[in-house]
């Protein structure tokens, strides 16, 4: 390259200066220095350092005495900064950026507006994403932790995405030393909550649990509780004498934090920067189709400009297990593995083997974006105190280099049905290793397996993002804790699945009556597999009956490995209705088509028949009543023990006899069955106690002061739809017991009320307010898990340490949406020729609270795939074709539209058909109401578990109650500017002292959701100020109206079990010529004057 004109004279040769050339030289020097400085400034703005000036050449900070090396070192630093930018752009594709998470935080605020503790939680609801997460590194606490599971193995995950920790915080923010009970997982273990690891069916044997129901039964049978195996996800990091460990790491050590749980593939991703030096990412999952495999992937990047020494520690620590005995531990250097074998307490013939291996073959070379093999770094193996085994990788990372490490864990128990192994643990260990060797090349199949499980499944409530999330997460939590091929004891599904030992990990009726029906429409094989656990314990159930000199079989209230009668799970004198629940689940599996005639004959029928025989021997005939009665039992309401004639139990016994007679007599079996004559005598002839005012009594002698723990009497309407209860009777019972439910009741109660309201209510929209009440108070962010209680603080909720996650609630919510709103039931008819035929009952209702309806896709029935869509005017069933149907009618299904629909009747639906019926529209509760079922929002806190929609849902038995007797406010959106003539308030039996009603006058463009956003997080005393910000034309139309009691308290009347008259206030404002869209109702105090400092109840607000 030729440059004309000398820029610099060679002084040694010519000793002559060229003034023009010298000026050009000086100009270029300063230009170069300016550009150099700009480059540095730009780099530091993008990649800030703790000491920016320390990296500048000395002439940019002449007063600094620390120059940090030579110009060569500075050039190397610039190179590393450029490489870091390259890394962030091209090499970090496993996780979305922290900035992107902030975007989702903003988008999620609208969905989470009615959830407590939603700050910094986010939800990406795109169908191809569908994940939940948080950007806050919290102390370990159960209701903010994700988990992994595949229905065989599971583990709750810490805030680091791996490892073990006891809870470090509790609901109510108590310290452990201050209140250890707040850290307890409750009855029956009362152990401190922890991030445990579990295997399906890995139950122990122990004399007793800390909590029991009947201590006098301790000697008749030992308990069997789920054992927690050693935590298998642990992968710690040591750096500068610090260890990245979930029990030791403090929040100030972590930045740029993100933890995500995918609802599409059950992968949990946790990423953060540790010590401002290392970018760390963990990806953890339990393989969907390879049940014995878990994987923890680690990616770690050196963010500082010095070479860094790290130690990666794979650890199996027996001390992270509970209720186990250690059999063997060790390592195999040649196989790059560590292992541990444990047995559940007192069961030496049962084993579980954990075998952990890893590969770390590649590190990212950012300069050419290639993977480079590591040069056999040092690995050390050790055993500590014969309790823990470690494998440590020693590695040096240059600036901005990354290490990728995959930890593969094979976990197999001797109960696993797919292994052919001997009873010794050496054989089990060998089988575990073989399983691991088989799967190393199949990790990518995990996502494919999830895609197959979720193929075509979708539940959407377009107008309510939180209900959509609740439905999707509920289905996910049921799917992730089950599998289609489970058998024997490994098909046991505890209340909290495989991520917690809540309720001792034992199996209750929750699985049979809540979870299985919830799974049936979307994963019928998963649902059917769960019933095999009851078949597994069936022989013991027959032995239980024999022990009590009874025929047939009887199941205990709680079950573990054996299904024997215990002090936590009595077989008699307690909750006999569990036998009905088990039979009901199997009957529904058959009616839905998940089970064929062989399933009915070989699995369901033996249990239904023997349960019927046991209960027919249990009941007693009352000569006076001329009906059969029961005695000394507990109905689902566990607040009432040792009662006689539990209404639900008696209804269930009658229904069970009906099923037994139907199966035995309608040629559903390939053999002739002898019919027990007592079945015929009992069916339809069980005594159901009633009050003189025709309210079904929960039990003999029940009085009006009753407080109900959970849904009880109403269960006779659903799920016992085969118990032919009169519609008017069902309505009376629903209205009466709505008001009797305990505030602190469990989360599966109100889904039942939602379903029953959908089926029976002739007025209003409480099916939808109950639906919201089933979800909003119980869902916990950031990971969309349901709690058993609406408030997790046991000092506030009545003393219950909630089960978590509460899969029972997930099953209930799915049933409320899937069966309730569209009125779907798995039914049957007897043809004129006497043949039995399965039908799908259809009874859809209008959904004014959910104005865009509901979309249910991937509904499976009789081997067919259906979509069910409810719009504002009609309901649609789309028949999308045949799955692998072996049902008697091929791809033809029968739809029975119920009586109240204009298109009632029986219809055939074939593949490709579209079936459309009009909706049933309930009447208005009060004629002329313009506010019933319209959007409403509480601007003040309500009682735990309440939702504002209960105040205008057209159902006088539902209500909203302020949390205290201070001023509280609700706002209603009429959605149009309308003339207002009258305000009617139904107070129920707890009127307010004062009423205020105001309007927002004028033409306002803001929707109620925007008003709500304005109020979110504000204090009550800021109410008027915020309204002024929205519109300066607000107007008080009713001020401090003193309420008169229309129906004063009468002790004699309140002592009767009857529907009580309501206190109603009616104010005529027609002469004021009021016209508005937004109505604000303010209440204060309560006229009951009792010790309860909560506010009044608002059963119904009607604007006329």
Rounded distance between C-alpha atoms, residue 936 and residue 1012, angstroms: 10
With H, G, I as helix, E, B as strand and everything else as coil, classify residue 528.
helix
Architecture of domain 453-837: Alpha/alpha barrel (1.50)
With H, G, I as helix, E, B as strand and everything else as coil, classify residue 1004.
coil
Residue 157: C-alpha distances to residues 246, 368, 437, 599, 1094 (Å): 10, 35, 25, 38, 38
Q: Is 933 left (phi over 0), alpha (psi -120 to 50) or beta?
A: left
Q: Does the CA dihedral 1039-1045-1049-1054 come out positive or negative?
A: negative
State yes or no: pLDDT of 369 exceeds 70.
no
> DSSP string spanning 37-58?
HHHHHHHHHHS--S-GGGGS-G
Q: Report pLDDT for 672.
A: 85
Q: Give me the CATH topology for the region 98-108+139-452.
A: Beta-galactosidase; Chain A, domain 5 (2.70.98)
For the chain, how many helices (H) and strands (E)? 23, 42
Residue from 498, 485, 488 nearest 414 by CA = 488
Rounded distance between C-alpha atoms, residue 788 and residue 323, angstroms: 24
pLDDT interval class at 638 (50, 70, 90): very high
Span 842-871, pLDDT tens digits: 999 999 999 999 999 999 999 999 999 999
Active-site residue, selected from the candidate residues 139, 253, 638, 739: 638
Rounded distance between C-alpha atoms, residue 250 and residue 413, angstroms: 36
Topology agreement, domain 98-108+139-452 and domain 453-837: no
State yes or no: pLDDT of 755 exceeds 90.
yes
Q: Report pLDDT for 1028.
A: 44
Map tokens 């029975």 to a residue: 896
State yes or no: pLDDT of 69 exceeds 50.
no
State yes or no: pLDDT of 840 exceeds 50.
yes
Residues 553 and 610 sit within 8 Å (Cβ to Cβ): yes
Rounded distance between C-alpha atoms, residue 48 and residue 273, angstroms: 14
**Exposure string over 261-281, b if 16+ CB within 10 A, otherwise e:** bbbbbbbbbbbbbbbebbbbb
pLDDT interval class at 231 (50, 70, 90): very high
Residue from 408, 318, 425, 311 nearest 356 by CA = 408
Helix (H) or strand (E) holding 1027: helix 1023-1030
Which residues make beta-bridge pairs with 336? none
How confident is the model over 553-561, as a mean pLDDT? 98
Q: What interhelical angle do 538-547 and 605-618 show, nearest 10?
A: 20
Superfamily, domain 838-918: Maltose phosphorylase, domain 3 (2.60.420.10)
Q: Report pLDDT for 1034.
A: 66
DSSP letter, residue 819: I
Longest pairwise C-alpha distance within the chain: 135
Q: Report pLDDT for 449.
A: 96
pLDDT interval class at 71 (50, 70, 90): very low
Rounded distance between C-alpha atoms, residue 811 and residue 348, angstroms: 35
Residues 996 and 1081 sit within 8 Å (Cβ to Cβ): yes
Does 638 qualify as catalytic in the annotation? Answer: yes
Which residues contact residue 751 at a Cβ distance below 8 angstroms, ignoring those fewer than 6 apart?
Answer: 770, 771, 774, 809, 812, 813, 815, 816, 820
Which residues contact residue 915 at a Cβ distance below 8 angstroms, ignoring those fewer than 6 apart?
Answer: 876, 877, 878, 879, 895, 907, 909
Q: What percent of the chain has pLDDT over 70?
A: 83
Q: Report pLDDT for 27.
A: 62
Whether the bond into 690 is cis, omega within 30 of 0: no
Distance in angstroms between the alpha carbons of the first and the last residue of the chain: 91
Q: Which is more confidently placed, 389 or 84?
A: 389
Residues 995 and 985 sit within 8 Å (Cβ to Cβ): yes
- Own/partner contacts of 417-421, CB < 8 Å, gap of 24 or more, are 417/485, 417/486, 417/487, 417/488, 417/490, 418/291, 418/485
Q: Report pLDDT for 798.
A: 87
How confident is the model over 833-847, as a mean pLDDT? 96
Rounded distance between C-alpha atoms, residue 405 and residue 360, angstroms: 5
Q: Where are the domains of the chain?
A: 98-108+139-452, 453-837, 838-918, 936-1103
State yes or no: pLDDT of 461 exceeds 50.
yes
364-373, 677-686, 724-733: segment of lowest average pLDDT: 364-373
Tokens for 417, please give them: 């049905």
Map tokens 């109410």 to a residue: 1023
Residues 494 and 788 sit within 8 Å (Cβ to Cβ): no
State yes or no: pLDDT of 561 exceeds 60.
yes
Supply φ then ψ for residue 98, to 5 degrees.
-60, -35
State yes or no: pLDDT of 182 exceeds 80.
yes
Q: Report pLDDT for 104.
A: 55
Q: Report pLDDT for 889.
A: 59
Composition of the chain by helix, strand, coil, percent to 5: 30, 25, 45
Residue from 848, 249, 859 nearest 524 by CA = 859
Span 1012-1058, pLDDT tens digits: 555 444 443 444 455 445 444 568 899 999 999 888 888 888 899 99
Q: Does the CA dihedral 46-47-49-53 come out positive or negative?
A: negative
pLDDT interval class at 119 (50, 70, 90): confident
What CATH number does the domain located at 936-1103 have? 2.60.120.260
Residues 254 and 239 sit within 8 Å (Cβ to Cβ): no
Span 316-350, pLDDT tens digits: 999 999 999 999 999 999 989 999 999 999 999 99
Q: What is the distance, to the nearest Å, from the Cα of residue 510 to the centroid of all Cα atoms in its chain?
A: 15
State yes or no: pLDDT of 14 exceeds 50.
no
Residue from 721, 736, 709, 943 nearest 843 by CA = 721
């Amino acid at each position: 390259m030729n440059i004309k004109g000398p820029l610099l004279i060679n002084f040694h040769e010519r000793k002559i200066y060229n003034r023009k050339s010298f000026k050009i030289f000086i100009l270029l020097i300063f230009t170069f220095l300016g550009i150099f400085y700009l480059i540095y400034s730009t780099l530091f703005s993008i990649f800030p350092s703790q000491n920016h000036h320390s990296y500048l050449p000395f002439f940019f900070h002449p007063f600094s005495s620390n120059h940090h090396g030579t110009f060569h070192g500075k050039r190397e630093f610039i190179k590393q900064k450029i490489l870091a930018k390259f890394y962030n752009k091209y090499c970090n594709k496993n996780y979305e950026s922290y900035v992107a998470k902030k975007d989702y935080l903003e988008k999620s605020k609208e969905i989470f507006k009615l959830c407590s503790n939603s700050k910094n939680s986010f939800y990406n609801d795109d169908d191809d994403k569908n994940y939940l997460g948080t950007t806050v590194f919290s102390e370990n606490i159960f209701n903010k932790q994700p988990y992994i599971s595949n229905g065989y193995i599971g583990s709750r995950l810490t805030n680091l995405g791996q490892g073990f920790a006891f809870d470090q915080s509790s609901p109510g923010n108590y310290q452990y030393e201050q209140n250890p009970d707040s850290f307890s997982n409750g009855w029956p273990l009362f152990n401190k909550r922890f991030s445990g690891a579990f295997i399906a069916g890995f139950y122990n044997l122990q004399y007793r649990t800390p909590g029991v129901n009947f201590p006098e039964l301790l000697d008749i049978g030992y308990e069997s509780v789920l054992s927690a195996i050693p935590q298998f996800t642990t992968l710690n990091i040591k750096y500068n004498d610090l260890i990245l460990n979930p029990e030791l790491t403090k929040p100030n050590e972590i930045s740029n934090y993100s933890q995500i749980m995918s609802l599409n593939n059950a992968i949990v991703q946790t990423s953060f920067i540790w010590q401002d030096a290392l970018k760390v990412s963990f990806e953890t999952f339990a393989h969907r189709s390879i049940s014995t495999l878990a994987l923890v992937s680690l990616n770690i990047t050196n963010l500082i400009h010095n070479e860094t020494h790290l130690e990666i520690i794979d650890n199996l620590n027996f001390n992270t297990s509970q209720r186990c005995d250690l059999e063997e531990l060790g390592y195999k250097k040649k196989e790059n593995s560590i292992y541990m074998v444990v047995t559940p307490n007192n069961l030496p013939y049962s084993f579980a083997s954990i075998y952990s291996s890893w590969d770390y073959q590649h590190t990212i070379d950012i300069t050419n974006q290639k993977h480079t093999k590591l040069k056999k770094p040092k690995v050390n193996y050790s055993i500590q105190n014969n309790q823990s085994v470690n494998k440590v990788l020693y590695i040096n990372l240059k600036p901005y280099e990354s290490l990728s490490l995959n930890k593969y864990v094979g976990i197999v128990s001797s109960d696993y049905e797919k292994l052919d192994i001997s009873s010794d643990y050496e054989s089990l260990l060998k089988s575990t290793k073989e399983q691991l060797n088989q799967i190393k090349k199949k990790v990518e199949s995990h996502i494919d397996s999830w895609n197959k499980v979720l193929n075509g499944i979708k539940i959407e409530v377009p107008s309510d993002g939180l209900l959509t999330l609740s439905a999707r997460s509920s289905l996910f939590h049921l799917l992730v804790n089950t599998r289609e091929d489970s058998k024997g004891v490994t098909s046991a599904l505890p209340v909290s699945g495989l991520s917690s030992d809540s309720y001792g990990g034992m199996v209750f009726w929750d699985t049979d009556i809540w979870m299985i029906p919830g799974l049936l429409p979307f994963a019928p094989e998963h649902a059917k597999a769960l019933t095999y656990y009851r078949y597994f314990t069936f022989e013991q159930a027959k032995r239980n009956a024999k022990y009590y000199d009874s025929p047939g079989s009887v199941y205990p209230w709680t079950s573990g490995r054996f299904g024997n009668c215990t002090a936590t799970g009595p077989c008699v004198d307690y909750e006999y209705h569990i036998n009905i629940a088990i039979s009901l689940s199997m009957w529904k599996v058959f009616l839905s088509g998940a089970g064929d005639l062989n399933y009915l004959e070989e699995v369901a029928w033996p249990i239904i028949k023997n349960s019927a025989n046991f209960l027919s021997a249990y009941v007693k005939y009352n000569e006076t009543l001329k009906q059969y009665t029961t005695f000394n039992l507990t109905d689902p309401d566990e607040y009432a023990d040792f009662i006689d004639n539990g209404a639900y139990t008696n209804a269930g016994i009658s229904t069970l006899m009906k099923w037994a007679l139907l199966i035995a007599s309608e040629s559903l079996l390939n053999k002739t069955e002898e019919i027990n004559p007592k079945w015929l005598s009992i069916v339809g002839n069980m005594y159901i106690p009633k009050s003189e005012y025709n309210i079904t009594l929960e039990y003999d002698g029940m009085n009006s002061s009753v407080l109900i723990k959970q849904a009880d009497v109403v269960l006779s309407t659903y799920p016992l739809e085969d118990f032919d209860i009169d519609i008017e009777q069902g309505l009376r019972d629903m209205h009466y017991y709505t008001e009797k439910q305990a505030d602190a009741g469990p989360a599966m109660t109100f889904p039942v009320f939602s379903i029953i309201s959908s089926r029976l209510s002739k007025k209003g929209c409480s099916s939808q307010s109950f639906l919201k009440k089933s979800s909003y108070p119980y869902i916990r962010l950031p990971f969309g898990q349901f709690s058993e209680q609406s408030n997790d603080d046991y000092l506030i909720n009545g003393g219950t340490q909630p089960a978590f996650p509460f899969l029972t609630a997930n099953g209930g919510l799915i049933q409320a949406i899937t069966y309730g709103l569209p009125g779907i039931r798995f039914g049957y008819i007897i043809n004129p020729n006497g043949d039995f035929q399965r039908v799908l009952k259809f009874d859809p209702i209008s959904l004014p609270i959910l104005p865009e309806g509901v979309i249910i896709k991937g509904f499976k029935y009789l081997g067919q795939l259906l979509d069910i869509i409810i719009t504002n005017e009609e309901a649609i069933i789309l028949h999308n074709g045949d799955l692998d149907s072996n049902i008697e009618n091929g791809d033809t299904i029968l739809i029975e539209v119920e009586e109240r629909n204009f298109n009632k009747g029986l219809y055939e639906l074939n593949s490709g058909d579209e079936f459309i019926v009009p909706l049933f529209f309930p009447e208005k509760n009060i004629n002329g109401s313009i506010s019933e079922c319209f959007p409403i929002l509480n601007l003040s806190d309500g009682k735990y578990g309440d939702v504002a929609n209960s105040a205008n849902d057209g159902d006088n038995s539902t209500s909203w109650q302020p949390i205290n007797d201070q001023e509280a406010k609700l706002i209603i959106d009429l959605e149009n500017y309308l003339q207002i003539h009258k305000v009617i308030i139904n107070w129920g039996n707890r009127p307010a002292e004062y009423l205020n009603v105001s309007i927002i006058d004028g033409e306002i463009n803001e929707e109620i959701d925007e008003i709500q956003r304005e109020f979110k997080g504000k204090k009550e005393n800021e109410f008027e100020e915020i309204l002024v910000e929205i519109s300066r034309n607000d107007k008080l139309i009713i001020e401090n109206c003193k309420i008169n009691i229309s129906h004063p308290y009468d002790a004699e009347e309140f002592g009767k079990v009857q529907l009580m008259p309501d206190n109603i206030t009616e104010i005529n404002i027609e002469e004021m010529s009021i016209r508005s869209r937004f109505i604000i109702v303010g209440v204060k105090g309560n006229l009951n004057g009792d010790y309860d400092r909560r506010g009044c109840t608002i059963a119904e607000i009607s604007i006329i």
